Amino acid sequence: MEAVLAGRAGPVLALLAGLAMPLGFAPFGWGWLPPVALALAFAQVAAAPSWRAALGAYLFGLGYAGFGVSWIFISVSRYGGGTLAASVVTPLFIAFFALYPLAALWLGRRLGGGRPALTVLVTLPAAWLLIEWVRSWLFTGATWLSVGYTQVDTPAGAVAPLFGVYGATVLVCVLAGGIAWLALRPRPGPLALAAVLIAGHVCAGLLGQIRWSEPAGPAIGVTMIQGNVPQDEKWLMDNRIATLRHYAQASRAQYGTPLIIWPEAAVPAFRDSVAENFLRPLAEEATEAGSTIVTGVPVREGEASYNSVVVLGEPENTYHKRHLVPFGEYVPFREWFGGALDFVGAPMGDFTAGSRTAPITAGGTALGVSVCYEVTFGPLVADALPEAGVLLNVSNDGWFGDSLAPHQHLEMARFRARETGRPMLRATNTGITAVISADGRIRAEAPQFERTTLEAQVTPRRGITPYVIWRDWPMAGLAVAVLAGAWGLPLLRRRQGGRPRHV
């Protein structure tokens, strides 16, 4: 096997392994596959000559990103600059994204120092962990396709309340290293090691027996309204009245339910432009009927505009989105390029990032709010705890069409629930609207691309998980410490070897 991986077939196998990686994510959910696919990449990089290892690493990244984020083409072609722009932007984005796996695999190989066991068992897993963490904040952050998400339904997902998604990443990578070592050295020793790692992977599920949070009161009734407004019609002035009428009528049918939730930017206009003739009367009407409406709506405050979540009738309860999507909600480098990149910008112009981390209160419940893409950042969602009893994510996945992205997005939201020990309400425009329990399981969901409502009972919880306290720092520190040790140990040995011996 080592000769095959080191030869001409190695880069091809690495490409195939990269293409297999997204099958571990939703909607496929083959959580067992990423450790195997990543093991193949580890083994190829460790066994091949330098140039062939680099080629294999980059091809692995191209396959991983090319399949995993193929939905970018849909977003840009349908709702951005058109097919021509998508044909340029998508390959460029994939080529850039592939640099992250390349960096991880190449760093692990270099620090392995040509020792296959050290490389596949130690430095490659640590380098992969480090690069995943780095890309979560570098250039504003890119958390999509972090390999730990594939474990949300496996025993490894039980580490979420302790170490978050990167804790699951560690388990995947260490297991991949054991399988890679077995592929390179198919002998009893590596076989026993791989068996031990698999057993450890399974035993991690015992952590799922720990309950880090507890009910904080009785269940409350919730209705989430899925408007299913097509993305290419959402912001048209001619459709505004029909859209608002639909949400109002759907809400009236649910009056008496304590919480009625609309998705991100359900109101396709700035709040101040529809406050007097729509939002305020509706809020009064709902309050009299015993309901509170929470909606996504753009908000203007002076010269700044925000992508916000507002509790109708309670203006002090407003959350402004803090982590904006580059080229989706604002155009970076505007001072350099002017309006040249506006074709991939936000439909209402550049938004401003908010700063509020505290929960908003609606219907007597403290809600930890995230808007769309924000739910992919564990530390950001954890900011609302321990005060928040329920997590709320409003989103508009209409940008993604019928692609992998809405399923991947929901999978990441499920991980946030496990990390924090809180149930999550996820209200979306086109789906997937869902109710997620505190252990990350989907209790109820609405079908995609249908105008519908999702009714549920949700119980607020209290308590705090270790992850909420220390966030991603233990895993980042582990990666840095391991790689620093791998880098420093040879230097120490050479220095000791160069000293004169005293008899």
Q: Are 130 and 480 in contact (CB under 8 A)?
A: yes
- C-alpha 21/C-alpha 150 separation (Å) is 9
Q: Are 411 and 246 in contact (CB under 8 A)?
A: no
| Dihedral sign (CA 94, 100, 105, 109) | positive
Task: State yes or no: cis peptide before 293, omega within 30 of 0.
Answer: no
Reference 414, options 136, 160, 172, 143; nearest CA is: 160
The first and second tokens of residue 201, run together, are 């992977």
Max Cα–Cα distance, the chain, nearest Å: 94
Task: State yes or no: cis peptide before 386, omega within 30 of 0.
Answer: yes
- C-alpha 430/C-alpha 228 separation (Å) is 4
3-state SS class at 49: coil
Instruction: Measure the CA angle with vertex 470, ends 467 and 476; round to 5°.
Output: 100
Task: State yes or no: cis peptide before 186, omega within 30 of 0.
Answer: no
H/E stretch holding 65 reads helix 50-68
Contacts of residue 208, defined as CB under 8 A and 6 or more positions apart, other chains included, come to: 155, 157, 158, 439
Give the single-character DSSP code of 344: G
Reference 149, options 34, 25, 243, 265; nearest CA is: 25
The first and second tokens of residue 54, run together, are 């680099």
**C-beta neighbour count of 292 within 10 angstroms:** 22
Supply the residues annotated as catalytic. Answer: 264, 321, 372
3-state SS class at 159: helix
Q: Are 206 and 158 in contact (CB under 8 A)?
A: yes
The first and second tokens of residue 272, run together, are 């101040």
3-state SS class at 7: coil
